[in-house]
């Protein structure tokens, strides 16, 4: 019986340690939201444990999801798993800058 309690206690300690490490993990990835796929259902916002996402109005358009605290993102993927529309991805920060350049180029031409 003591062995059982020891095993359960050890498993719990391992869970706590990995959970705290995961929370503190810094990442070079960032959330990318495809505005065309987004249904504005707020699911990602409510599932984000770090308050990274927020619904805000865009100038001259409807509300949309924006990343307000990118440095708080731990890449836990709760927002991705909660999105039923496939509108959210984690991408490398370098890839994000090239994606933004492509969008700006396409909007100019």
Domain CATH for 65: 3.30.70.20
Whether 106 is in a domain gets the answer no
Whether 86 is in a domain gets the answer yes
> 19-39, pLDDT tens digit by residue?
555 554 556 788 889 989 999
Identify the helix (H) or strand (E) that includes residue 56. strand 53-57
pLDDT cut 90: percent of the chain above it:
32
Looking at the whole model, is its pTM more than 0.75? no
Whether 103 is in a domain gets the answer no
Whether 104 is in a domain gets the answer no
Whether 23 is in a domain gets the answer yes
Whether 108 is in a domain gets the answer no
Whether 13 is in a domain gets the answer yes
pLDDT cut 70: percent of the chain above it:
61
> 80-94, pLDDT tens digit by residue?
999 999 999 988 877
Q: Contact 85/39 with Cβ under 8 angstroms? A: yes
Q: How many domains does the chain have?
A: 1
Domain that holds residue 65: 2-95
pLDDT of residue 75: 87
- pLDDT-based confidence at 104, cuts 50/70/90? very low
Identify the helix (H) or strand (E) that includes residue 89. strand 88-92
Tokens of 39: 């249904």
């Amino acid at each position: 019986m003591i062995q059982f309690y020891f095993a359960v206690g050890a498993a719990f300690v391992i869970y706590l340690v990995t959970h705290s490490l995961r929370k503190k993990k810094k990442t070079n990835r960032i959330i990318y939201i495809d505005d065309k796929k987004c249904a504005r259902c707020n699911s990602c916002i409510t599932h984000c444990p770090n308050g990274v996402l927020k619904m805000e109005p865009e100038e001259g358009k409807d509300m949309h999801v924006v990343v307000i605290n990118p440095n708080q993102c731990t890449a836990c993927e709760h927002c991705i798993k909660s999105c039923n529309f496939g509108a959210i991805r984690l991408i490398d920060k370098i890839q994000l800058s090239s994606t933004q350049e492509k969008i700006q180029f396409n909007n100019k031409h």
